[in-house]
Structure 1
Amino acid sequence: MVVMNGFERPHVARLVRMLENDDAMRIVAITGPRQTGKTTIALQARRRLEASGRLCWYVPLDDPTPEEFHAPGLLDGVDTIPAGGSLDARWLVEIWESARRAAERVEQGLVLILDEIQSIPRWSNVVKGLWDGDRRSERPLRIAILGSAPWSLLTGLNESLAGRFDPLPVAHWSLLEMARAFDLTLDEYVFLGGYPGSIQGRPGAWQLDAWRRHIAHAITTPAIDRDIVQLTRVRKPALMRQLMDLAPRHSGQIMSFNKLLGQLRDAGNVTTVAQYLEELSDAGLVTGLSRYAPSPHRSRAASPKLNVLNTALMTAASGYSLEEAMAVSDYWGRVVESAVGAHLWNTRDAGTRIHYWRDRAKRANEVDFVVERGRHVLGIEVKSGRPGGASGLKAFRERFRDARTLLVGTGGVPLNEFLSLSAEEWLEEL
């Protein structure tokens, strides 16, 4: 990934602070969707740590060749790693033991960064045991782990790692980050999305076909085949892949699970499709927003509204260029709306929920997004064409008297301004 002017995301400074804080010795877990720059963040933090005099080893476990380790002295006491081989639990223990010995020899201790941790089978049990031993012995060894999937996929929903890890979640890149790193315009960002690795050089020089191939082969395919199918129990991988092909095409649309099921070739059921959609959401690909309702049960029972979590997943498969996409008003409207939904989802805090709303009695009354945190509720309507037609916001205010509303785009808050603040900031701003 090549960025302009040595751009660093805020995660770099935060990671350095976490690893320099010797009072909090928990493992730092850097997780998030594929191609969001987790490895770059770790390597930039490593350079800062080394510049301050702290010994820091970086080990990419998916390609364990000595020249890639960036860890002088790592192989002391470690058996030769076979060319093209994969590390297993034994290799991980030996690497950790080597780091322990090195940490004892230097005043500030050592930082060990383990990239692609999911490459080690049953890694969490091994790491827990090693870390517990370090804490009992008070070894000066700090650990950071990286994975190509969110925490729930890396560890399993039933895995208990409480008290051992400090999370550092990495989400898709925002408009401000892509503009600062690659000088993207607003329209380019809405079309190309927030995948930094897909942008090579100055926009205008990027190749549309190469960009599409990158989205398909570096993001979508490995996210499903490596992050979801290998890390979870997917009974029907072909059905999962079909759902991933279908869902981005309908981003911005409310679709019942039965309707989704009817467009899938493989046999399945509503429960399976709903489960697979949740797993696609966990992987940072596409989510199904639930209908906002005071009763959570009624909310879950309604048809989901599909929304890609990075607009590149929607536009790369469309066959359109940027200019062609903008010329098709209905399609471009859904892309803009999906960009707003992705931004809300990617910038929300853990306690904040993103919904849509539709009046059951008068289905024409809809609100694109509802941001909910406790008693705070914000209804958001997105307009990318002619002004007017915000009857849904009026109906929403009449139904939910304590809710606030916001119009984004034509006739309201400019899109670039909206994408410059997080979901939490908009809740506090109004």
Structure 2
Amino acid sequence: MYDRILVRYLQTTGRSALMLGPRQVGKSTLLSSIGPDLSLNLANPRTFRDYAKHPERLQRELEAAPPTMKTVFLDEVQRVPALLDAVQVCLDDQPGRFRFLLSGSSARKLRRGQANLLPGRVHVHHLHPLLAAELGQDFELDRVLAHGTLPGIYSERDSATRAADLRSYTDTYLREEIQAEALVRNIGGFARLLDLMAASSGRILNVQALCRDAGLGYETTRRYIDVLEDTLVMFRVPAWSGSSRASLVRHAKIFLFDIGVRNALLRRPLDAPLPDERGVLLEHLIACELYRRLGTLWPEAALYHYRTRHGAEVDFVLEVGREVWGIEVKASRQVSRRMLSGLSSLKDRCDRVARRIVVFLGERPQRLDGVDVLPLEDFLLQLPT
């Protein structure tokens, strides 16, 4: 089991918490490690039936609980959203009596069930696949670029088994469960859209092109994309607006939540990353490392991309408080001045640019025309944990 950074945050606060994240990122393992006094797994068919039929049962049980029962863990709470009302009653009527740890893999189901998300009563956290910092000495770049960092898959030592597990995950979870989540009628169209989203991962979202290629209507395509985002399978990196949007591309980039899932959906060989995709995959890795820190680990940061209508672009723009950081990703061992044009454009447009960074695969840091040229490992070490 890998040590998760979020455990430290949960252990240092007594607040109740709602942990959201895709399947198999380790939510149950993480929350169980805190040592709850009562655990209810709503993925268990019998437990689900009991509490779905009588959600008020939880409140009655907690009213009769002994004083030693303090921490209550509800796993996959989106399956019975009505339980959140019982949680609110307990938190309001007996402040400090219980601490609730809640996990869920679908914000869509919670919203669709008009769930009480307990504003002001619980802290909401997002758990993602493993960060490089959580892998520690187990971090292997080629392995990450091929198989991603879902904990159960990455911890498997046999590469062939890892690949088989990854394909099984994409087929049974993404293609079947997400399909069911979407109430899909056009199964073929949804399957094509899922593959197209994987192929578009790291690119600017073009809904019209996806409609055409998937053979779907515009509203259907938008709804399916919303489902993928609500189930935390994909995320958007919006366009940075700056001081004037007149000459900037305004559409978001999209990324799947895990590199290995992207590769499996596209039927890529999973023994090693394809050489001609190394740049795309490295950019995807940096996108995930930055995005996974937003919120709990880096609350003052917001993530964007930068692209002008004249072709200048920067892979990522971080707003950290009042500062702006421009980050370019290069899958090469050398960096030249001609690679800095996008960062120069960003600096010319915004006087708040405090750092310009190129992440590359060289061995030692460099300084080039005011730009920090950082090896991948050095860059990752500078990110908050």
The TM-score normalised by the length of structure 2 is 0.81
Q: Which runs of 5+ in 2 are unaligned?
A: 363-372
* Equivalence for 2:38: 57
Aligned-pair CA distance for 1:36 = 1.0
* Equivalence for 2:331: 384
Change (3 A) 1:175 1:38: same
* Equivalence for 2:370: none
Change (3 A) 1:134 1:351: closer
* Equivalence for 2:367: none
* Equivalence for 2:148: 193
Structure 1 residue corresponding to 2:316, chosen from 369, 386, 390:
369
Alignment check: 8 A CA contact 1:31 1:147 kept:
yes
Question: Is 2:80 the counterpart of 1:127?
Answer: no
Alignment check: 8 A CA contact 1:30 1:147 kept:
yes
Alignment check: 8 A CA contact 2:128 2:292 kept:
yes
Query: Per the alignment, in what secondary structure is the counterpart of residue 55 of structure 2?
Result: helix
Mapped to 2, the partners of 1:244 and 1:300 lie a distance apart of 28
Change (3 A) 1:248 1:111: same
Structure 2 residue corresponding to 1:353, chosen from 297, 302, 323:
302
Q: Which moved more, 1:412-421 or 1:291-300?
A: 291-300
Structure 1 residue corresponding to 2:198, chosen from 240, 248, 256:
248
Aligned-pair CA distance for 1:294 = 2.3
Mapped to 2, the partners of 1:206 and 1:96 lie a distance apart of 44
Aligned-pair CA distance for 1:250 = 2.0
* Equivalence for 2:129: 172
What letter corresponds to residue 416 of structure 1 in structure 2?
E
Aligned length: 367
Aligned-pair CA distance for 1:315 = 1.4
* Equivalence for 1:69: none
Aligned-pair CA distance for 1:208 = 2.2
Change (3 A) 1:113 1:133: closer
Mapped to 2, the partners of 1:42 and 1:395 lie a distance apart of 45
* Equivalence for 2:366: none
Q: Which moved more, 1:293-302 or 1:193-202?
A: 293-302
Change (3 A) 1:295 1:401: closer
Aligned-pair CA distance for 1:206 = 3.5
Query: Per the alignment, in what secondary structure is the counterpart of residue 316 of structure 2?
Result: strand
Mapped to 2, the partners of 1:191 and 1:144 lie a distance apart of 33
Alignment check: 8 A CA contact 1:31 1:146 kept:
yes
Cα deviations across residues 230-263 of structure 1 (Å, max 9, x unaligned)? 7xxx897765543322111122223532222221
Cα deviations across residues 72-109 of structure 1 (Å, max 9, x unaligned)? xxxxxxxxx7xxx7234443322442233123xx4x33
What letter corresponds to residue 323 of structure 2 in structure 1?
H
Mapped to 2, the partners of 1:135 and 1:153 lie a distance apart of 24
Query: Per the alignment, in what secondary structure is the counterpart of residue 102 of structure 1?
Result: coil
* Equivalence for 2:20: 31
Aligned-pair CA distance for 1:146 = 1.4
* Equivalence for 1:304: 252
* Equivalence for 1:229: 182
Aligned-pair CA distance for 1:192 = 1.4
Alignment check: 8 A CA contact 1:257 1:273 kept:
yes
Structure 2 residue corresponding to 1:149, chosen from 75, 96, 106:
106
The TM-score normalised by the length of structure 1 is 0.74
What letter corresponds to residue 110 of structure 1 in structure 2?
K
What letter corresponds to residue 172 of structure 2 in structure 1?
H
Cα deviations across residues 396-430 of structure 1 (Å, max 9, x unaligned)? 222323313110114621123323443x68xxxxx
What letter corresponds to residue 74 of structure 2 in structure 1?
L
Question: Is 2:171 the counterpart of 1:216?
Answer: yes
Structure 1 residue corresponding to 2:344, chosen from 379, 394, 397:
394
Query: Per the alignment, in what secondary structure is the counterpart of residue 254 of structure 1?
Result: coil
Mapped to 2, the partners of 1:131 and 1:239 lie a distance apart of 41
Structure 2 residue corresponding to 1:332, chosen from 278, 284, 303:
278
Change (3 A) 1:166 1:399: closer
* Equivalence for 2:31: 42
Aligned-pair CA distance for 1:40 = 0.4
Cα deviations across residues 282-333 of structure 1 (Å, max 9, x unaligned)? 43322343322226876997333232221112212333335653432xx121
* Equivalence for 2:365: none
Matches within 5 A, 1:410-425: 410=361, 412-422=373-383
Cα deviations across residues 349-405 of structure 1 (Å, max 9, x unaligned)? 355332221221x22x21111112453211111100353341222222223233131
Aligned-pair CA distance for 1:222 = 5.5
Alignment check: 8 A CA contact 1:285 1:313 kept:
no
Mapped to 2, the partners of 1:163 and 1:137 lie a distance apart of 15
Aligned-pair CA distance for 1:211 = 2.6
Mapped to 2, the partners of 1:57 and 1:359 lie a distance apart of 54
Query: Per the alignment, in what secondary structure is the counterpart of residue 87 of structure 1?
Result: helix
Matches within 5 A, 1:60-75: 60-65=41-46
Change (3 A) 1:17 1:265: same
Question: Is 2:74 the counterpart of 1:114?
Answer: yes
Alignment check: 8 A CA contact 1:309 1:341 kept:
no
Aligned-pair CA distance for 1:274 = 4.5
Matches within 5 A, 1:85-104: 86-103=49-66
Mapped to 2, the partners of 1:297 and 1:355 lie a distance apart of 14
Alignment check: 8 A CA contact 1:113 1:144 kept:
yes
Mapped to 1, the partners of 2:329 and 2:155 lie a distance apart of 30
Change (3 A) 1:323 1:242: closer
Alignment check: 8 A CA contact 1:224 1:241 kept:
no
Question: Is 2:359 the counterpart of 1:408?
Answer: yes
Mapped to 1, the partners of 2:185 and 2:380 lie a distance apart of 38
What letter corresponds to residue 408 of structure 1 in structure 2?
V
